[in-house]
Amino acid sequence: MPYQTATSPTVSKKKYWQFQLVIGFLWLCVAVITVYFRSTDFVTVAFIPAAFSFSLVTCFGRQALPGIIVGSMFASMFALIHVVEPTEDAFYFLPQIILYSVTHALCFYMAHLGLVRYTKGSLKLDQPKHVFALVYATMATSVISTTIATLVYFLIDLDIAQLLIDLFLLRWMSNITGTLCFTLTFMTAFSYFRCEQFFDHAYIDIAYLRNNLNIDSRLLKITLLFTSTIIALEIAGFYIETDHAVIGWMGIVATLCFAHVAIKLGPSALAIIISTFALLLIVSASSLWGVYTVSEVQMLLPTLSIAGILILALTGSIGNNRHLNTLAHTDELTGIANRRKWISHASQEFLRSKRYDRMMSIILIDLDFFKRINDEYGHDGGDLILQRSAKIFCNQLRDEALVCRYGGEEFAVIVPECSAQHAAIVAERMRESLSRSTVEYNNKTLKVSASFGVAEIQHTHAKLESLIKDADEALYQAKHNGRNQVMIKPA
């Protein structure tokens, strides 16, 4: 179901049609911009209207469709004034205007059916699945409108039949790229409209949009960078050669997508990347134009832009998942594995050892008189002891072994492919290193020792818990015998 606001007051017919007229008027404003700023064919003309409609339906749902149809008709008629000769009959194009307007509205509605399905009607741009759904919706939207537009071109001029594929791909890629570039800007603006009664059919959580696309949002800053660059190049296109404006515009858009990765390195690194590419683009523009056609360049660079957005969504997901995985499986104080991570790893090693009849041992460690250290030196002193102990244990272990903080002052080690006797030798090295170490705290020297219990996997161990229990019994025996020693659980 579409996102529902907390309150959805009934909208009167008067306000409803006022709302539609406002949308129509805004569409007319968009038409003025797209007609006057046409330094790059099939770019601004396709981008801004596509993103505008896409954003309207995302924020206002089906309620925006009548306004989009009316606005599209206004825009089409306004464009005809500038392209139809005075001697021609403008009404000849009226069926095409109506067809284009209706199709333009319906294609966005069909695309948003996909958004509802894959985002449950509450689109959130911090979730990779929703980002992919957004890209899918823009692609589906653009396919429909581009197909109609291409057929109209064909009906008007049958001589361009051999160019239909190039024309279709050109307009499709332009629509997709432009929609992705401008949509966030429009949606952010719409979300601040004080018309809550029109948000009850929104396909995006308006509260989420307001909270996450504020002026301090990194995502919004990137979007504004996109938009300002596009507008600047469009304006510059009036005064420079059109072909070079096309290459510059599309190249910058592609670069901005990939440069998004560099945002983590800071604005300086991002600025250097963009500036360097821009200089290279200016130098190579003339030679590039001599090799590739307009269609090839315009189709290539938007494709890179889309690929960049998808890659960023995917790598962002991977990075976030890795970060969350690290937080979930790392002890915050010592930086080593936590109990959850260790149990998971030990369970896998236990099953592998049982299946292939391999050796495996575990070591349980308990710091001696740790409570006394906490009472005398406070938790800060105790934390330093824990951190130093964890570092010492890690330094004495091979890569295959895994040490974790098992409890408050307890540690656990799993040693694959190792008998109890060899594990005891490892434990003895750890014990000696810890006993020799000191920690300076508040002009005092702190020392600590530890007791170790070792157990090896046996045929009688049906579960990991039974092996841990044997190691715990050996640890108890070490503490009972005077601490600061290593004990092995007899087979």
- What confidence tens digit (pLDDT) does each residue in 461-491 have? 989 999 999 999 999 999 999 999 999 998 7
CA-CA distance, 232 to 248, in Å (whole number)?
11
Query: How many domains is the chain built from?
Result: 2
End position of a domain, from candidates 326, 353, 385: 326
Q: Are residues 190 and 118 part of one domain?
A: yes
Alpha helices in 360-409 (DSSP H): 370-395
User: According to the model, what pLDDT value does residue 365 have?
Assistant: 97
User: According to the model, what pLDDT value does residue 289 have?
Assistant: 45
Whole-angstrom CA distances from 348 to 345, 415, 456 are 5, 13, 15
The total of other beta-carbon atoms located within 10 Å of residue 197's CB is 16
What's the pLDDT tens digit per position in 359-411? Answer: 999 999 999 999 998 888 888 899 999 999 999 999 999 888 999 999 889 99
Q: Are residues 272 and 185 part of one domain?
A: yes
Q: Are residues 358 and 321 part of one domain?
A: no
Higher pLDDT, 306 or 453: 453
Q: Are residues 288 and 345 part of one domain?
A: no
User: According to the model, what pLDDT value does residue 307 have?
Assistant: 47
CA-CA distance, 423 to 420, in Å (whole number)?
5
Q: Is 183 within the bounds of a domain?
A: yes
CA-CA distance, 89 to 86, in Å (whole number)?
8
pLDDT of residue 447 exceeding 70, the answer is: yes
Q: Is position 400 annotated as part of the catalytic site?
A: no
The three-point CA angle 286-288-289 to 5° equals: 65
Q: Which amino acid is at 131?
A: V
End position of a domain, from candidates 303, 326, 349: 326
pLDDT confidence bin for 139, thresholds 50/70/90: confident
End position of a domain, from candidates 326, 345, 369: 326
Q: Could you tell me if 363 and 471 are in contact, meaning their C-beta atoms sit under 8 angstroms apart?
A: yes
CA-CA distance, 491 to 488, in Å (whole number)?
9
- In the set 234, 349, 409, 456, the catalytic residue is 409
Q: Is 332 within the bounds of a domain?
A: no
CA-CA distance, 3 to 218, in Å (whole number)?
24
What is the pTM (predicted TM-score) of this model?
0.42
Tokens of 418: 């190792």
Q: Are residues 318 and 395 part of one domain?
A: no
Q: Is 192 within the bounds of a domain?
A: yes
Q: Could you tell me if 363 and 413 are in contact, meaning their C-beta atoms sit under 8 angstroms apart?
A: yes
User: According to the model, what pLDDT value does residue 430 have?
Assistant: 95
Q: Is 174 within the bounds of a domain?
A: yes
Provide the 3-class DSSP secondary structure of residue 208.
helix
Q: Is 394 within the bounds of a domain?
A: yes
User: According to the model, what pLDDT value does residue 245 have?
Assistant: 46
Q: Are residues 158 and 113 part of one domain?
A: yes
Tell me, rounded to whole angstroms, the distance of Cα 59 from its chain centroid: 21
Q: Is 100 within the bounds of a domain?
A: yes
Q: Are residues 421 and 476 part of one domain?
A: yes
Pairing of strands 360-367, 410-416: antiparallel
- Full residue range of the structural domain in which residue 231 is found: 13-326
CATH code for the domain of 450: 3.30.70.270
CA-CA distance, 376 to 395, in Å (whole number)?
28
Higher pLDDT, 289 or 188: 188
Q: Could you tell me if 451 and 485 are in contact, meaning their C-beta atoms sit under 8 angstroms apart?
A: yes
CA-CA distance, 281 to 268, in Å (whole number)?
20
Q: Are residues 193 and 46 part of one domain?
A: yes
Count how many Cα atoms sit within 13 Å of the Cα of residue 490 in the half-sphere of its side chain: 1
Q: Are residues 370 and 296 part of one domain?
A: no
Q: Which residue has the tokens 């008629």?
A: 77
CA-CA distance, 139 to 147, in Å (whole number)?
12
pLDDT exceeding 90 applies to what percent of the chain? 24
Query: How large is the average pLDDT for residues 233-258?
Result: 49
Closest by CA to 263, choosing from 226, 227, 238, is 226
Sign, CA torsion 297/299/300/303: positive
User: According to the model, what pLDDT value does residue 69 have?
Assistant: 75
CA-CA distance, 243 to 39, in Å (whole number)?
9
Q: Are residues 124 and 206 part of one domain?
A: yes
Count how many Cα atoms sit within 13 Å of the Cα of residue 253 in the half-sphere of its side chain: 35
Question: Cβ contacts of residue 475 below 8 Å, gap of 6+?
Answer: 364, 365, 366, 451, 452, 453, 487
Q: Are residues 296 and 425 part of one domain?
A: no
Tokens of 350: 């236990």
What's the pLDDT tens digit per position in 411-441? Answer: 999 999 899 999 999 999 999 999 999 998 8
Sheet with 410-416, side-by-side order of all strands: 337-338, 402-405, 410-416, 360-367, 450-456, 486-488
pLDDT exceeding 70 applies to what percent of the chain? 45
Q: Is 467 within the bounds of a domain?
A: yes
What's the pLDDT tens digit per position in 448-461? Answer: 999 999 999 998 89
Higher pLDDT, 53 or 318: 53
What separation, in Å, do the N-terminal and C-terminal C-alpha atoms of the chain show?
Answer: 62
Q: Is 7 within the bounds of a domain?
A: no
Element (H, E) at 412: strand 410-416
Q: Are residues 222 and 159 part of one domain?
A: yes
